Structure 1
Amino acid sequence: MDGHEVVRLMTEKPPAHCILKIESFSVFQDASIYKCNEASFKSIAFGTGGYTWVLSVFPKGNKQEHVDDHLSVYVTLVDKLAPDAREKRFHYLKNTWGVSKFLPISTFNDPENGFLVDDYCVFGAEVFVLKNQAKISTMSIPEEDCVRSYTWRIKNFTLTTAPTNLYSPLDSSSGLNYGNKLYVEYFLKLKNQREGENHQKLCYQWFSASENRCGSSAFLSINDLLYSSKGYLVSNTLIVEVCVEKMFLLKD
């Protein structure tokens, strides 16, 4: 763990998960087994968060991290994780994390600081396992080669006395799962069957499983629709077109 990732704080509460008490610290430190560069004091395995851990203390620093003037302290995950496990930080290739420069050895050895008193010291650890409950969403653009234009020829159109309403519903079988959303920006067009311009409106909305219809409640007045020179209604037939401009899919 890099230094900028370490948060140091003072607390009067003892560690909740592991306490390693070392009596006659100097004697243990001078034992042959601890004189090698790789040596560390290790606690008995302890369990928390559904996993098993071990606390390790390098009294002369972790030489593999090129540290010789600080105590190095680590927590190691004992359990074997599957290669596809996704625990934060700890995984099957990296099962040890800690602080290579935990405390200067000179500071630790000075009894005035209270860490090593009468050749006795105490180390501890608290491990909090955060379950990965984050909701991950991905916003993407659907395939570019999908159909972006749809045309309907409506024959024997029935007239009403209200302005013409035009909506574009999302097919319930489109596979949009609950919680997912589809943003669509498109033009609703009433084709001019003569030589005039088409009548169109830009529509946009986030579609979902519960909100699957979008359009215009006052797309075109009846008077404009019936006015023959407009060219929208010819031989009692309408031609409606939907042209999709943009689509964004938001999904789990």
Structure 2
Amino acid sequence: MSEKMGEYLRIVRERIPATYMVKIESLVSLKKAIAATNYPEKDHVELNHFTSGNYTWALCLYPEGNKKDDGKDHISLYLKLVEPLDKKVIAVMFNFFIYDQLRDNYLMIQGLKEKRFHVAKTEWGVSRVISLNDFDDASNGFLKDDSCVFGVEIVYAYVNVQPQVAVVHTTTTTTTHLKSYSFKWEIPKFSKLKLPCDYSPEFNINGRSWKLNIYPNGELSSRSIDLYLCLNSTSSTKGNKLFVEAELRMKNQAKLSEGKDRKQTLCRWFLAGGMRWGYSNFIGLENLEDFKLKDKIIIEVNVKEIALVQM
């Protein structure tokens, strides 16, 4: 299942969180401990610190919701940068988790947009992860014998030093705009694909190797097709940044003249070889028939602009 929540997507997955998990043996006791603290705001707890990507983080839990962030009567979760770096910005993509103790899977709140941590903004999170009614409902499996498990997964984190340099100080930064490019990928016998994902043949744009990555039955959800643009791991950016504006398209092969292609626009930074950007739930499987012809689908990418920023 999935449910969009602004800049986050609610998904159920089986894979364990990769970065940090914490088990709370007694939620009632934790709430009492929070209420007994000397802090003015007795509504949350900063759980044990952990490290990821050479930075120190903390998972902050509001067991009755962060009311200042419209989270009343919900579980609220936040990721906190414990030691912010002076004059530096850390760009982070992360996901939150609650363990379902009945079904042995996880409710994942997947981040859809990169968040920027710095001295003036050390926390980002979700005020309405799940309503307290749903969380307390024993049939949902999140709270069992007053015990619960929360987690966070940091997908990536990288540092920008004085991020305005690339715009302001042209004496130290050079931006080169490279030509556009189009690539078409035909996939015959689409319904016969057996692997969880498939890759297109490699294609070259201005000396760098790219490919498309498709999940015929979704990477996290079994009801959709996921589609990504990948910068091959062999293509180094040499410490520079590639800004890519591209359109991912699935051709509508229905004979009806009003049939429209499925397309999504991508505007992202590629910082190193091996990175990918795209869309989970690019198209639902229930909408696929107009896009197949004799079990063949056609995927196109139109790279409208690549800007190489040399630092």
TM-score norm. by structure 1 comes to: 0.49
Structure exhibiting the larger radius of gyration computed from Cα positions: 1
Structure having the larger proportion of residues in strand: 2
TM-score norm. by structure 2 comes to: 0.40
